[in-house]
Amino acid sequence: MKPKWVVAILLLIVLGMVWRQTVLLPSNSRNVIDSNFRSTLAQNNDSFSVVSTKSYKGFSRAFKPQKFSFPSDHGPHNRFRSEWWYFTGNLNATQGRRFGYELTFFRSALKPDILESKSAWRTNQMYMAHLALTDVETNRFYTDERFSRAGNDLADASDKSYQVWLYDWSAKTEGEEDFPLRLHAKSVDFAIDLLLTSSKGLVLQGDQGLSRKSPEPGNASYYYSYPRLETEGMISVGGKQFSVTGTSWMDREWSTSALSNEQSGWDWFALQLSDNTELMFYQLRRKDGQLDGNSSGSYIKADNTKLPLKGHDVIIKTLDSWESPHSAITYPSRWRLSVPSHYLELEIVPLIKDQELNVSYRYWEGAVKVTGTKQGRVISGFGYVELNGYKS
Amino acid sequence: MNTILQRASRNFLWQHPWQLTLAILGIALGVAVVIAIDLAMESSLNSFKQASKAYSGTATHRIIASDGGLDEKLYTRLRVKQGITHLSALVTGYVKLAQTDAENFKLVGIDPFIEKSLHSGWQNGQKENFSPELLTRLMTEPNSILLSEKTAQRLQLHLNDKLSVVTVQGEQQLNIIGLLPGNDAVSEQVLAKLIITDIATAQEVLGLFGRLSSIEVGLVNDVSKTLAAIRSVLPGNVLLVSLDSQEQSLREMTRAFSINLKALGLLSLLIGIFLIYNTMTFLVMQRRRLIGSLRLLGVTRQQIFKLIIGEAFLLALIGTSIGIGLGVALGQGLLVLISGTINAIYFRIDSAPLMFTPMQIVKGMVLGLGATFLAVLLPAFEATRLSPVKVLARSQLEAGSRQLLKAVGLISFLLIAGGLSMALFSGKSINFGLASIFLILVGFGLLTPALTLLLMKFIEGFFGRFLGILRRLPVRMVSSEISRTGIAIAALMIAVSATIGMDLMIGSIRQTVAQWLHVSLPADLYISVPGDKVTANTALADHQLKEKIAHLDGVKMLSSVLQTKLFADGQLTKTSVYEINAKSKEGFIFKYKLDDGIWRRLENQQTVIVTEPYAYHRAIKIGQKILMKTDQGALGFEVIGISAEYSGDQGHLVMSRQNYLRYWPDLGYTGIGVYASAGADLKQLESRISQLLTAQQSVKSNVDIYNASMELFEQTFTITETLRWLSAAIAFVGVFSALMALQFERTRQLGILRAIGITSRQLTVLIISETGLMGLVAGLLAIPVGFIVAYVLIFVVYQRSFGWTMAFYFDSVVLYQGLALAFIAALLAGVFPALKMAQTHPAEALRSE
């Protein structure tokens, strides 16, 4: 009899242990890996145009030139639908390694009305920022992006002093003046921390800062640039830190509507040449494949005088193309740019081919090297090219 | 050979469909109750995790604050200054539908444009209607909300319809701009009680401007670095906790409750085991001849053993499968009760869908099969133990079992003594406390046959001389077949004593709580001032209300309380902040004698009073310090008193308002106590006060509060009552089957009785009086055992579970009820076989063997 009870008690103990055993919990959560915020906002490769309303109603538009005043115009223009603070630059590490960077803040008004509320989160203003780094030596291109509403000081720009930020990515003045301006942004495996000093002052693009993109009145933006910003600071990539110096370019632009229906995109060139001159030109493309007559730009002399360039002043020939392995989009990849009126002949080559930003809004924006002649003399330089609106 | 054996076994089983059904029922019910409790409990706890997944995806940590603490600028600081990613700011609160049924919904305000991994399933699901446009509308259109498809259907609402809700801000119209699809049954149920909206809308609707409810944190890489970076900027009253640890602490909180429930489940199973044992024994007994013949034909012991075990296994498999199915259905019912209790005394559960995992099914299977195996071991050994010749002689069995009784008696004494000492010397363990009850029950159960024999001997010896043969027959029948009757009586005794024990226990708690409530409601009227006491901006209105009430005619003095949550020793702890007056001091029952200085100290020094459950679980003594997070950092508060509390098992802190306001923001009041001047008309005063109140506030007399509290008490014990009746029902099935088996087994014997001239009516009386006698014995034995169980429950299990000290209240009605229950159950169980036997023709009965 006894052994049976021992067995019985042992069994009871085993049963008890089974009972006590922690149960597996059901899991209906799928792990989502997100290195960036892709498709948070956009699914059609067309970020803000998807979320913002198509109608211009209620928004301000750029009809005629206006007087700029700073620092307030460095701040946001919330009555316009979109706006950006665009920083690009070519940098040189002390060890001789070359880098290109882009840090851009986009503001987009999702609706024209400005809402009053006791909640700090109530806003119609959305910010997006892109950070890209070109590491020429390793032939690698890093990108990241951020989104946030403007509320609760999570993202915004100030009209009191030059500062724009989205979370911990920022462009902020260090003192009372607009410059030096500090750019600070970090991603998981790369980061920039740069100090920008203005050596040439600002240039009002287009007609006193009014840049027309198509013949229809109002299809224009307010546009000014700082074409040459002396830059120094630190870059970290792949766990290493580099002390860098170089030159940056800043573009500020705000508008409600820019392109017309027939236009499909633009190729934008911002070149800083070795003789302390700069060239900015945007070539608008039409859906029918023709070049658009509204393309325009400027040539900035060493003394900061601006010579406007019309569409027919500049001849751009594409010498090569590159097909993105990520998106299967074919982009032009090498150009000959000539400005006959200034006896300028330039060849523009991307520092690396793959500088496509695979973020929620896909475009190619990359550091380029420039060689050529000006009035027969050899000239060189670096710059940035943006290729927008290409489809696979 | 095997096939013949199997066929023999099958044929036999088919001939006893009643026994078969009852055995299966026994297993099924036992397993069902255990499974149901497990499912309901786990589902309730899981709903907490599931709910947070419904709006914050894969967050691993959470930043929380004591009430009134989480500033929205903290989120900005973390994002902008510290550069921490994968954060989700949440503003949550409860809203009531404006319709008559006033259903509650949890309004969850999210920022839709954050990292994807912190999104919930519905946001990541590639459903077309969850385009960025919809999320943009959510952000840019005030009062726009998303509602689950199911809820919209239930409320008969469509896209673009309006949902009227009531909050502290008054009635508001919310626009339904999107319907959330449930990806599966679980998420569907979780979403059913949620309203998802943008964080700005949530702040506006709930009036929580400037505040967040929590910040959900998803840690991806550099975990320790990120945690350190977050902690470095957290203010004193804010805490970062992992969701696992938070869930763990909820689990911890309900652990006592859960263990007690599961013990009730095991009690059902234990009674189920008796039932199976009984049936299997019957099936073996009935085949003693067959088995003997088989053995003579050369069938080995192993084959017989295998046959019996195989039969049991088959029964167990069927019974367990049915039990699991039943358990799921029963679990659905229990879920409502369990989540209701958790809601009432622990924490808020918004919706608890019933979830089950393969593991739980396996657990049910193992329990069912294991219990059957355990129960069948003895009969199986019985069937093989005896030699073929002996097996054929029935009397041998009874002789054998009588010998056994001595050994069993020793074992049962050991079990009872072990159980009692385990109850006394197992520290604070609830498990050991409950295990001791099981040991005591099983011990007495084993002792029952011996005690029954004694009782029968006594009855026969004492009353025998006054009774005729026929009247003595039931007594003799009980004792002569003690191997069968004893088991039935034991099963019934265990069920009834558990019932008596629980009844006495619940009665004692009820009395204790009633007395405590009586003392702790010193004011005449109580005003409840509900609302999310999260922001300081509602405080002003509360103060104005109190001022107005103070100036009403007939109001002598006021007291107030603010129920809030503060971080004490690293945990968010319920704290009652009192404004105490001379009379409200009497509302505290202190566990140790204290002088009047305590009130002065409570007002002027850094001190708190803790309630008994709090002190018990943390082993806190007077004079000890509790570390509390304040805006000025962590400060030690000295414990100067321990007061009684029976409203929950976590306990709370008591602090004076004066003291509280030195360290924490004024969040107004949650309750105001009104002391009327002598001779004031309370009814009139009540109606005058109610004119000053908003729709959400209410005024109640102390009698009303007392009644409502007692009602809540009864509610929290509904689940215990339900389970108790379930186990009683199983016990009834057990007794029914045991007695029926017994009577059928005696067909021949009864046939002889009929043949020698006993009328069918006499036979009916005979059978019913035998079962009635058995019930009486079970009931009588159950009384002292029930007492012991009640003592252990009150002074060991409940004290350890809830930290309550209670007085033992004896209620004699409980004993009569127990006795009646046993008697009537046994009587009823005898009716059917009695009628059947009475109808059977004597010749047929004799032939049937």
Distance from CA of B609 to the nearest CA of A (A): 36
Q: Indicate the domain borders of chain B.
A: 70-234, 530-696
Record the tokens describing residue B473, joined without a space.
Answer: 């027959």
Within 8 A of A38 by CB-CB distance, chain B residues are: 116
Alpha helices in chain A (DSSP H): 2-20, 47-51
Within 8 A of A32 by CB-CB distance, chain B residues are: 57-58, 116-117, 119, 124
Q: C-alpha distances in angstroms, B626 versus B249, B428, B604?
A: 19, 22, 17
Cross-chain Cβ contact B58/A32 below 8 Å:
yes
Q: Which positions ≥6 away from B182 have C-beta within 8 Å? A: B122, B148, B149, B150, B188, B189, B191, B192
| Distance in angstroms (rounded) separating the CA atoms of residues B479 and B453 | 6
Distance from CA of B340 to the nearest CA of A (A): 22
Record the tokens describing residue B477, joined without a space.
Answer: 């029948």
| Distance in angstroms (rounded) separating the CA atoms of residues B120 and A240 | 36
Domain annotation covers residue A370: yes
User: Which tens digits make up the pLDDT trace of B228-259?
Assistant: 889 888 887 788 888 877 777 777 778 878 88
User: Which tens digits make up the pLDDT trace of A259-299?
Assistant: 777 788 889 999 999 999 999 999 999 888 888 888 999 99
| DSSP character at residue B211 | B
| Distance in angstroms (rounded) separating the CA atoms of residues B485 and A163 | 91
User: Which tens digits make up the pLDDT trace of B407-451?
Assistant: 788 888 899 999 999 888 888 888 888 889 889 988 998 888 888
pLDDT band for position A16 (cuts 50, 70, 90): low
Within 8 A of A167 by CB-CB distance, chain B residues are: 79-80, 83, 85
- ipTM computed for the complex: 0.86
User: Which tens digits make up the pLDDT trace of B31-43?
Assistant: 888 888 888 888 8
Q: Does B119 touch chain A (CB under 8 A)?
A: yes
Domain count, chain A: 1
Record the tokens describing residue B794, joined without a space.
Answer: 């009150």
Closest listed residue to residue B606, CA positions, set B634, B580, B581: B634
Cross-chain Cβ contact A149/B370 below 8 Å:
no
Q: C-alpha distances in angstroms, B152 versus B155, B159, B162, B344?
A: 5, 9, 11, 27
| Distance in angstroms (rounded) separating the CA atoms of residues A203 and A253 | 12
Q: Which positions ≥6 away from B244 have C-beta within 8 Å? A: B60
Restricting to A residues 39-58, those with a Cβ less than 8 Å away from any Cβ of B are 39-43, 50-51
Q: Does B310 touch chain A (CB under 8 A)?
A: no
User: Which tens digits make up the pLDDT trace of B61-99?
Assistant: 889 887 766 899 999 999 999 989 889 999 988 888 887
pLDDT band for position B316 (cuts 50, 70, 90): confident
Q: Which helix (H) or strand (E) element contains residue B61?
A: strand B61-65
pLDDT computed for residue A157 by the predictor: 95
Q: Residue A27: closest CA among chain B residues belongs to which residue?
A: B50
Phi/psi of residue B300, each to 5°?
Answer: -80, 170
Q: Residue B366: closest CA among chain A residues belongs to which residue?
A: A15
User: Which tens digits make up the pLDDT trace of B484-524?
Assistant: 788 778 888 888 888 888 888 888 888 888 888 888 888 88
Cross-chain Cβ contact B113/A147 below 8 Å:
yes
| Distance in angstroms (rounded) separating the CA atoms of residues B621 and B600 | 20
Distance from CA of B122 to the nearest CA of A (A): 11
Within 8 A of B50 by CB-CB distance, chain A residues are: 28
Length of chain B, please? Answer: 849
Closest listed residue to residue A295, CA positions, set A382, A377, A206: A206
| Distance in angstroms (rounded) separating the CA atoms of residues B368 and B100 | 46
Record the tokens describing residue B21, joined without a space.
Answer: 């059904």
User: Which tens digits make up the pLDDT trace of A379-391?
Assistant: 999 999 999 989 8
Q: Percent of chain A, pLDDT > 90? A: 64
- Indicate if the pLDDT at residue A51 is higher than 70: no
Cross-chain Cβ contact B367/A124 below 8 Å:
no
Residue B247 in contact with residue B42, Cβ under 8 Å?
no
User: Which tens digits make up the pLDDT trace of B714-762?
Assistant: 877 787 777 777 777 777 777 777 777 777 677 777 788 888 888 888 8
Question: Does residue B635 sit in helix, strand or coil?
Answer: strand
Q: Does A67 touch chain B (CB under 8 A)?
A: no
| Distance in angstroms (rounded) separating the CA atoms of residues A14 and B367 | 10
Q: Residue A167: closest CA among chain B residues belongs to which residue?
A: B80
Q: C-alpha distances in angstroms, B834 versus B737, B761, B827, B844?
A: 13, 9, 10, 16
Q: C-alpha distances in angstroms, A111 versus A115, A361, B130, B791, B802?
A: 10, 20, 19, 70, 56
Q: Residue A49: closest CA among chain B residues belongs to which residue?
A: B133
Lowest mean pLDDT among A13-27, B277-291, B305-319, B748-762: A13-27
Q: Does A6 touch chain B (CB under 8 A)?
A: no
Cross-chain CB nearest to A8 (options B81, B115, B374) = B374
Q: A88-112 burial by CB neighbour count: b if 16+ within 10 A, else e?
A: bbbbbbeeebbbbbbbbbbbbbbbb
Residue B51 in contact with residue B351, Cβ under 8 Å?
yes
Cross-chain Cβ contact B184/A122 below 8 Å:
no
Domain assignment of residue A310, given as a range:
70-388
Average pLDDT, chain A: 85
Cross-chain Cβ contact A43/B131 below 8 Å:
yes
Cross-chain Cβ contact A117/B79 below 8 Å:
no
Q: C-alpha distances in angstroms, B655 versus B540, B565, B602?
A: 21, 12, 7
Q: Percent of chain B, pLDDT > 70? A: 91
Distance from CA of A131 to the nearest CA of B (A): 15
Rounded to a whole number of angstroms, the distance between the first and last alpha carbons of chain A is: 84
Record the tokens describing residue B30, joined without a space.
Answer: 């036992």
Q: What is the largest CA-CA distance in chain B?
A: 102
Residue B272 in contact with residue B730, Cβ under 8 Å?
yes
Domain annotation covers residue A339: yes
pLDDT computed for residue B845 by the predictor: 67
Q: Residue B35: closest CA among chain A residues belongs to which residue?
A: A19
List the CATH number of the domain containing A233. Answer: 2.40.370.10
Q: Does A24 touch chain B (CB under 8 A)?
A: yes
Cross-chain CB nearest to B83 (options A119, A147, A168) = A168
pLDDT band for position A7 (cuts 50, 70, 90): low
Residue B502 in contact with residue B698, Cβ under 8 Å?
no
Distance from CA of A267 to the nearest CA of B (A): 28
pLDDT band for position A12 (cuts 50, 70, 90): low
Cross-chain Cβ contact B200/A126 below 8 Å:
no
Cross-chain Cβ contact A117/B142 below 8 Å:
yes
- Indicate if the pLDDT at residue A207 is higher than 50: yes
Record the tokens describing residue B338, joined without a space.
Answer: 């369990």
Residue B613 in contact with residue B651, Cβ under 8 Å?
yes
Domain annotation covers residue A111: yes
Q: Does A30 touch chain B (CB under 8 A)?
A: yes
Closest listed residue to residue B503, CA positions, set B706, B268, B725, B715: B725
Within 8 A of A24 by CB-CB distance, chain B residues are: 357-359
- Indicate if the pLDDT at residue B604 is higher than 50: yes
Comparison of pLDDT for B373 and B246, the residue scoring more: B373
Q: Which helix (H) or strand (E) element contains residue B573?
A: strand B571-579
Closest listed residue to residue A75, CA positions, set A173, A4, A156: A156
Best B116, B264, B280 residue to mutate vs chain A (most A CBs within 10 Å): B116
Record the tokens describing residue B688, joined without a space.
Answer: 């005058």
Closest listed residue to residue A294, CA positions, set A276, A274, A314: A314
Question: Does residue A371 sit in helix, strand or coil?
Answer: strand
Cross-chain Cβ contact A165/B378 below 8 Å:
no
| Distance in angstroms (rounded) separating the CA atoms of residues B288 and B294 | 10
Question: Does residue B81 sit in helix, strand or coil?
Answer: helix
Cross-chain CB nearest to B72 (options A11, A21, A120) = A120
Cross-chain Cβ contact B363/A33 below 8 Å:
no
